[in-house]
A and B are shown apart, each in its own frame.
Chain A
Amino acid sequence: MSFEWLHPALIATALVLAVIGAVRRVSLWRAGQPDQVNLMAGLMAMPKRYLHDLHDVVERDKYMSKTHAATGGGFVLSAVLIILVHLFDVDSQILAWALLASSALMFVGALFVFKRRLNPPSRISKGPWMRLPKSLLAFAGSFFILTLPAAGILPEGFLLQTGNVLLTVVLTALIIWGMGEMFFGMSWGGPMKHAFAGALHLAFHRRQERFGGGRSTGLKPVDLSVVEEFNPATSDKQVLGVAKPKDFKWNQLLGFDACVQCGRCEAMCPAFAAGQPLNPKKLIQDMVIGLAGGDDAKYAGSPYPGKEVGNAKGGPELIITDGLVSPETLWSCTTCRACVEECPMMIEHVDAIVDMRRFLTMEKGETPNKGAEILDNIIATDNPNGYSPASRTNWAADQNLPVMSDVKQAEVLFWVSDGAFDMRSQRILRSFVKLLKAANVDFAVLGDEELDSGDVARRLGDDAAFQNLAKRNLETLSKYKFSKIVTTDPHAYHCLRNEYQDLGSNALDGVEVLHHTTFLNELVQAGKLRLDSFNGGTVTYHDPCYLGRYNGEYEAPRELLRSLGIEIAEMERSGFRSRCCGGGGGAPITDIPGERRIADMRMEEVNSTGAELVAVGCQQCTAMLEGVAEPRPEVKDIAEILAGQLIEEVH
């Protein structure tokens, strides 16, 4: 029959168009900056990452996980088989039957997608995504039928008989629709783009360490040589931070393209919930607009709270904050990584935000509200609040702490952090010291030699200040011998553990960096601290972002509380889903207005457990939660709770 060429031709066309689209898409990504990625190794690792890391996230929503496995698995299998059966005409009943099975599987999956879309939650984007289940059904259904003859269920050529013109026309239309969505759309920017970009993103992810649960930072030191050796000829080509989409690394752009607009990030984002002008999903979509050019008129999800959709325009060569994303969106982020943790596509929202902040701070000097003052303080005094550097150890005037400059070595270096300047935090520090002494730990502090870790500077985008602090801290650290660093500050902990290693020092080689709850838990488990049980009523635990999501420590604080006989009344949002206190990322400094305070929302969640005491492991969380108007539960660091139950030896 004269129409036999039709479907193979359509398939071939779709695939060719898909390849052209892919090439075009890749070229969009390639507008980004180079990044060192081992392409082959990435590709090899991709299936495992899909089945393990990505699936672990998707699995949190059992319905969608099963649906996606059926639909996605069915599709991948079907696509391969379609090429074999219908394009290359491999005459194999087994393949045809397999294709029937895979397309049926996909069809069933697509039915569930369809069902989900009947009454979708607000976090999910609508628009083109609403047609996706139908496209999936069209694709799966049409190829199922198209394959029936090849499987021998219908006679060969049945569909192309003149009597079945109508069927053929309909079927062909469905195939065109299905393939248009699935092949063409995949590389030209339809919803299915997520599969193409998502797969590659898994392979070429900027933070390869995160697969398999590794801890790292995506904030790599900014190359400051451009500042150090100023060259007017190149100065406007080299920019600090990300001004335009093309300033992102190419694989970051790729990552943005992987977004499925599921809105899980939106549902988790504390700033969004507080009514601040940030929605991580919209942000990523704006990044997509930036990399591809255009505007957000077709965006069909929740807006940035308080902002209308439709006014954002961007392109690879356009400055992002000049019309695509407003600076206050970037400054609303607490860097809590709730979005990152929740994103099934492993997108790194926070790193992108900080990259863009770097431009605003370092190139434009536009850190809002208290930002500029804080950064000036850091530069002048090595701490964000501008305390006299000589007052850093005032808190310990009565503690008789061994100081590294005297003792030169100790088993544990207690990194005190800037809580040293704050009376509230000093109570945590004193409690921790009490515990260290009770357990006879050989420890020392750096005293006035310690500087701010640089966390705030880095999160506010001033990487120059961060690097300056970090390098000087590393220089100090390199003078002494110790096998562990323990700190009560999860922010310093993250910097020391994950960020200092990029600065070319070996001061921390072989050094274990620990949060105090981890270390205290070791002491308690080893029987080095004698503790009374706690009967102070109901207790809940608030996971600090930089301890939990950033560093994966969820268990030690809980085990410590349990060791006091406390049965933790867990909040609904706890563990990796803990909600930020609102204190990270310099958010209290840039202080972007919203409708609610994040800390207030968090305290409501505490209240809903009926807790009289909320245990925390971070001075910043303590400050934020204690900032909530009373009456409210008491807020105590775990070190304080432990110190309160310490059975002291009577001499």
Chain B
Amino acid sequence: MSQFDVLFEPLKINKLTIRNRIVSTAHAEVYATDGGMTTDRYVKYYEEKAKGGCGLCICGGSSVVSIDSPQSWWSSVNLSTDRIIPHFQNLADAVHKHGGKIMIQITHMGRRSRWDGENWPNLMSPSGIREPVHRATCKTIEEEEIWRVIGDFAQAARRAKEGGLDGVELSAVHQHMIDQFWSPRVNKRTDQWGGTFENRMRFGMEVLKAVREEVGPDFVVGLRITGDEFHPDGLNHDDMKEIAAYYNATGQIDYFGVVGSGCDTHNTLANVIPNMSYPPEPFLHLAAGIKEVVDVPVIHAQNIKDPNQAKRIIEAGCVDFVGMTRAHIADPHLIAKIKMDQVDQIRQCVGANYCIDRQYMGLDVLCIQNAATSREYMGLPHIIEKTDGPVRKVVVVGGGPGGLEAARVAAERGHNVTLIEKADELGGQLTLAARAPQRDQIAGITRWLVMELERLGVDIRLGTAADENLVRELKPDVCVLATGGRPFVEQNPEWGADEGLITASWDILSGKVEPGKNILIYDTICEFSGMSTADYAAAKGSLVELVTDDIKPGVGIGGTTFPTYYRSLYEKEVIMTSDFLLEKVYREGDNLVAVLENEYTGQREERVVDQVVVENGIRPNEELYYALKEESRNKGQIDNEALFDIKPQPVLSESGDGMILWRLGDCVSQRNVHAAMYDALRLCKDL
């Protein structure tokens, strides 16, 4: 008997049997281009989940029903035209072929969008109140428009049905049109569409009625709602129970999806897709509360990443289906792996929120650690087949994410792989990143890769600094350098790195240097490293000022992640100063003086501190590369045309003497985890 049997108990939604209790819930993929049509990329992305065993995919987060709810900002699916129907047929076939079911979320986003593009619409909302996250101003929707949008919902549902999808999910979450009507915070109307409970409910009820009339009783219609908006003037949990019960009483809703938190402020938005700073399933209680008042299945997603966790939730009866959406982005085969008794081989989501943070910037959703996700259409594999070509000796130097991924992929291909790492542990910069408060889970990326390397029998040599002689001795056919970089603290000689006046952020995070009592952290990068260093030092009791020449500290961090840093930094009274350059550091007695200069006025300020920490990015470690470059067969070059086309590197099929030499990751130039792992995968998958 498998401990996970409870996850594999099929359950019906309306008349639709879902093969297991695991759902990929609606999220914006940002893959629907060509005016909001689902593409080959889109289809393959969902097909992979279905192939991996996912019970139900609800695709198309915030797919629009009307032309005045813009789709282009997030390349969302456009259901305002019949042109979508054949695209849906491809999508439905691809998922059904593997026994999965697929529905789509449909919505009118109301005020929660941008008007400054596409058709340049006037955005609409019940009372014309501005939405802060998108800085979106809007008009007050008129009666005629209300009825038109209701009709648009019905037509969109028809298109989903005609396209062969298994159902639609009405979005009444994230402050879209339906819940804009619900919430007294933004619905100030005094006509039949506002004021009393029934009036506020009316728009949603009319949408439901129209949709049901169009699609009939058997087509699945679900409703996704929040469990609590977490705004004092918004809908609280009791309100939401009342609303859920009210809609449930119609008998027309086939399931409820429940999300904790509203999201029309930056801070609440971060709750919606809880990053690694959150505990597991932080808002399950809200979904369980809704389940108490409805009699159809309840779906809940939010930080459910682990099969044991999913099983526990289902077994406890809190909800009927668990959403494991980011978990599927990290590993679309997670269910197959549960079934294959390979739970240890699941690449688990670490909550880095690279996916959603890209989405909020209007960029396609990608996984920080799984470069194959959403690139299935390009031929990037989730399951790496053994090579039927020659078995090669592969030496990878550097055990950061890029090197680990290269070693993993090469080993999966069946090659003999040796991985050399200078440090005593693997992980590279991930190890540093994981030392910051609430950032420990990022080490999960390393953990999985190391477990895979062990499973695959890679020869791992720790505490070994590779030089050209060591590499030569190993006689590799292919040598992959992923030697990373080192802090670039000497860029401005006035900082006094050579005189030991400044400390690199890495040395603080690694614990090599104790944070001082009163410190200034100068961060030119404005991503995780500076914020993490500040948070780490503050947690150790330092008084911290975080200074950047950029427009705000952490500006490079995405929308679901900077709020959790801010919560932590403000709470620890870290002073965040923007628009100042670090001009110079000098010693004065026991103290250091940091000279800052305002970028816009040139005005200078000084800070007397006992430690100046600099985060200025890294310089690549390229010595080994240049030592080996000349003797290598390909002179260290990567054929970019083949690389970008996901084709095998031509040098692999050419004969010649000497090793093939590639370098990837930060030892080329500083990019990020995904970039290093993407290069590792696309280079090594054809090895």
Contacts and interface: CB of A to CB of B under 8 A. Distances in A.
A299 interface: no
B164 to A, nearest CB: 14
A397 B1 contact: no
A285 B627 CA distance: 79
Nearest to B98: A398
B503 interface: no
Contact of A394 (B8, B341, B388): B8
B99 A399 contact: yes
Contacts of B463: none
Contacts of A535: 388
Interface stretch (A46-54, A420-428, A456-464, A485-493): A420-428
B341 A423 contact: yes
A397 B339 contact: no
Nearest to B338: A423
B341 A397 contact: no
A397 B388 contact: no
B341 A424 contact: yes
A398 B100 contact: yes
B20 interface: yes
A3 to B, nearest CB: 81
Interface in B5-40: 5, 8-10, 17-20
Contacts of A424: 341
A399 B10 CA distance: 12
A211 interface: no
A500 to B, nearest CB: 27
Contacts of B653: none
B interface, how many residues as a size bin? 10 to 19
Given A391-B9, A394-B10, A427 B99 contact: no
Nearest to B339: A423
Interface string A534-570: 0100000000000000000000000000000000000
A608 to B, nearest CB: 22
A426 B335 CA distance: 14
A68 B341 CA distance: 54
B89 to A, nearest CB: 12
A483 interface: no
B2 interface: yes
A397 B18 CA distance: 7
Interface in A307-327: none
A94 B480 CA distance: 93
A385 interface: yes
A423 B99 contact: no
| Residue of B4, B17, B100, B341 contacting most chain A CB atoms (<10 Å) | B17
Contacts of B99: 397-399
Contacts of A398: 19, 98-100
Nearest to A424: B341
A387 interface: yes
Contacts of A397: 10, 17-20, 99
Contacts of B98: 398
Contacts of B10: 394, 397
Interface in A402-451: 421-424, 426-427
Contacts of B340: 423, 427
Contacts of A394: 8-10, 19
A166 to B, nearest CB: 80
Contacts of B19: 394, 397-398
B15 to A, nearest CB: 13
A530 to B, nearest CB: 18
Interface in B312-341: 338-341
Contacts of B2: 422-423
B595 to A, nearest CB: 62
Contacts of A422: 1-2
Interface in B522-580: none
B342 to A, nearest CB: 11
A535 B386 CA distance: 11
Contacts of A399: 99
A562 to B, nearest CB: 21
Contacts of A427: 339-340
| Residue of A398, A426, A535 contacting most chain B CB atoms (<10 Å) | A398
A397 B10 CA distance: 6
Contacts of B341: 423-424
Contacts of B18: 397
B385 to A, nearest CB: 11
A173 B361 CA distance: 110
B650 to A, nearest CB: 25
| Residue of A397, A399, A421, A535 contacting most chain B CB atoms (<10 Å) | A397
A385 B1 CA distance: 7
Contacts of A426: 339
A424 B339 CA distance: 7
Nearest to B100: A398
A210 B187 CA distance: 85
A448 to B, nearest CB: 12
A387 B1 contact: yes
Interface string A100-121: 0000000000000000000000
A421 B4 CA distance: 12
Contacts of B17: 397
Contacts of B338: 423
Interface string B363-386: 000000000000000000000000
Nearest to A388: B9
B19 to A, nearest CB: 4
Nearest to B18: A397
B388 A423 contact: no
B103 to A, nearest CB: 15
A421 B1 CA distance: 8
A586 B5 CA distance: 23
Interface string B165-195: 0000000000000000000000000000000
Nearest to B6: A391
Contacts of B339: 423, 426-427
A403 to B, nearest CB: 12
A535 B389 CA distance: 13
A284 B10 CA distance: 51
Nearest to A387: B1
Interface in B606-626: none
A512 to B, nearest CB: 30
B258 to A, nearest CB: 24
Contacts of A395: 8
A452 to B, nearest CB: 15
A26 to B, nearest CB: 52
Contacts of B9: 391, 394
A422 B19 CA distance: 15
Interface string A235-276: 000000000000000000000000000000000000000000
Nearest to B336: A427
B95 to A, nearest CB: 10
A259 to B, nearest CB: 42
Contacts of A387: 1, 5
A398 B19 CA distance: 6
Nearest to B4: A423
Interface in A136-169: none
Contacts of B388: 535
A272 B338 CA distance: 37
27 contacts: A387-B1, A387-B5, A391-B9, A394-B8, A394-B10, A394-B19, A395-B8, A397-B10, A397-B18, A397-B20, A397-B99, A398-B99, A398-B100, A421-B1, A422-B1, A422-B2, A423-B2, A423-B4, A423-B8, A423-B339, A423-B340, A423-B341, A424-B341, A426-B339, A427-B339, A427-B340, A535-B388
Given A387-B5, A397-B19, A423-B338, 14 more contacts: A387-B1, A391-B5, A391-B9, A394-B9, A397-B10, A397-B17, A397-B99, A398-B19, A398-B98, A398-B100, A399-B99, A422-B1, A422-B2, A423-B4
Interface of B: 1-2, 4-5, 8-10, 17-20, 98-100, 338-341, 388
Closest 5 pairs between A and B when the two form their complex, measured CB to CB: A398-B99, A397-B10, A397-B19, A398-B19, A423-B339
